[in-house]
Structure 1
Amino acid sequence: MRSHATQGSWGVLIALAVLGAWLGHLVWLLVGAELSLASPLTYLHVALQAWLCTGLFITGHDAMHGTVSRHRWVNQAVGTLACFLFAGLSYRRLVVNHRAHHTDPTGPDDPDFSTRTQSFWPWFATFMRRYTTWPQILVMAAKFNLLLFLGVAQWRILVFWVLPAMLGTVQLFYFGTFVPHRRPDTPDMAPHHARSLPPNHLWALLSCFFFGYHWEHHQSPSTPWWRLWRMRDARARAEALTPGQEPAARL
């Protein structure tokens, strides 16, 4: 999954910006924010932190494809850090599984796909069972207890760290796996068995860091998330100019 694109310094800067925004906002919520469970503003911050959690994993995902930096060690460092911070995930294990997903999307060896059900929650449960490991659970438990030891109120840990991570996981699964790859396949999904959101760049950014442009990601895994909107525009223009072209699937 090595990228042959030249990203320059933008990939590293954007990755650091996402990491810094996630960490900075989380620290402020845990120890500095004057918020209460009765304040509607609290839940706006929860939604923002969930979105930043999504971006944190997308950053780790891009590192798997070598799109953070042209240097392999930088991708490994950023990916390892992002996946560990997101949910104590093993970057190396994710690379192996994600390579299998790209090799045969929705096929029998795709660890992201459920051949038993196309319903959201059962598929999500299967997905989580495949990716959750005992070392990950132990890491998350250690993080939780470390925060308690440092004096962070338990309700803040649950509301500002645990809840956004859970919401971000659901968001990633819905926009990055369930919607793009659910069956039945339509002609516009060929040859990747993947569909894309209609072009709406603001919604694509807010929903899943442009990862809803999923056909484009499978078409060009070496394109970083922050450039997928350009590929979506190019595809939309090509479809508009091609007589008899099947319209893009609406999600």
Structure 2
Amino acid sequence: MATLIIVLWMVSITMLMLSDFSFLNPLLYVFVLIQMHLYTGLFITAHDAMHGTVAPNKPKLNLFFGQTCTLLYALFPFKALYAKHHEHHDFVHSAKDPDYHEGKFIVWYYHFIKQYLSWRQVVLMAIIYNVLKIYLPEKNLLMFWVLPSLLSTLQLFYFGTYLPHKGEHQNIYQSNTQSKNHVWAFFSCYFFGYHYEHHQSPGTPWWKLWQVKEQNSSTNNG
């Protein structure tokens, strides 16, 4: 599954970078959303690697996939993300939780980005951008590299952090969950709207979270 996400992202971004498009073509914006979703898939795959589920019992391969996805996403150092993400699980919805912040959406989003983005990354990404624009049309870089990656951060934050953790929750995981709708759950954020289920079973990869949702729904209905 991790290989599929990486290959789809690579094929998509290569084809889009070489395309000649018009801003009047409505398909352009569909392709931007597809690329955004694939960027989110890269990060979700890296997240699964943080829980050891990409290549179970093969830690070096698991680390390889995690680091590859975080580098492709935005040059994130995998080990630093690993440490912060496990702090989130250990101290969820507390002052020690790097993903949690008491405040409105924009303030929380700013706090969230600040936790993970470093000036080194920004500088390196700027250098890469300026090198690539020598060889590729700048409008393609902006529409299919810069914009989808930025939109992906909003997708990840809104569906994977803000909605699940805002407010107070009467459960040990301090997490909300989307209503059962597997199609919407996949397209919104690779089933991470089923966030209670993720905290309940962090060893379940993203593509099996719907099964945990089904089990919980059957138990509750029973």
Shorter-normalised TM range:
over 0.9
2:88 is equivalent to residue 88 of structure 1 = no
Whether the aligned pair in 2 keeps the contact of 1:80 and 1:90 (CA below 8 Å) is yes
Instruction: Give the residue type in structure 1 aligned to 2:79.
Output: R
Q: Give the Å deviation of 1:139.
A: 2.2
Q: 1:155 aligns with which of 118, 139, 159?
A: 139
Q: Name 2:41's counterpart in structure 1.
A: 55
Q: Name 1:39's counterpart in structure 2.
A: 25
Whether the aligned pair in 1 keeps the contact of 2:159 and 2:188 (CA below 8 Å) is yes
Q: Name 1:214's counterpart in structure 2.
A: 195
CA distance in 2, matches of 1:85, 1:67: 19
Matching of residues 90-239 of structure 1 within 5 Å: 90-115=77-102, 117=103, 119-149=104-134, 151-185=135-169, 187=170, 190-239=171-220
Q: In structure 1, the residue corresponding to 2:172 is in which secondary structure?
A: coil
Whether the aligned pair in 1 keeps the contact of 2:17 and 2:136 (CA below 8 Å) is yes
Q: Give the Å deviation of 1:161.
A: 0.5
Deviations 1:203-226 (A, max 9, x none): 000000011111111011110000
Which is further off, 212-221 or 135-144?
135-144
Q: Give the Å deviation of 1:110.
A: 0.3
Q: How many residues align?
A: 221
CA distance in 1, matches of 2:49, 2:72: 14
Deviations 1:107-164 (A, max 9, x none): 110000003x1x1111101111121102211221122123113x10111100111000
Whether the aligned pair in 1 keeps the contact of 2:160 and 2:193 (CA below 8 Å) is yes
Ranges in structure 1 where 5+ consecutive residues have no aligned partner: 1-13, 242-251
Whether the aligned pair in 1 keeps the contact of 2:168 and 2:174 (CA below 8 Å) is no
Q: Name 1:79's counterpart in structure 2.
A: 66
- Residue identity over aligned pairs, in percent, reads 38
CA distance in 2, matches of 1:139, 1:23: 20
Q: In structure 2, the residue corresponding to 1:75 is in which secondary structure?
A: helix
**What's the C-alpha RMSD, in Å, of the aligned pairs?**
0.9
CA distance in 1, matches of 2:101, 2:181: 28
CA distance in 1, matches of 2:66, 2:16: 24
Whether the aligned pair in 2 keeps the contact of 1:87 and 1:140 (CA below 8 Å) is yes
Q: Give the Å deviation of 1:27.
A: 0.8
Ranges in structure 2 where 5+ consecutive residues have no aligned partner: none
CA distance in 1, matches of 2:37, 2:209: 18
Whether the aligned pair in 2 keeps the contact of 1:104 and 1:110 (CA below 8 Å) is yes
Q: Name 1:249's counterpart in structure 2.
A: none
Instruction: Give the residue type in structure 2 aligned to 1:19.
Output: I
TM-score (norm 2): 0.97
Q: Give the Å deviation of 1:184.
A: 2.4
Q: Which runs of structure 1 show a deviation greater than 4 angstroms over 4 or more consecutive aligned residues? A: none
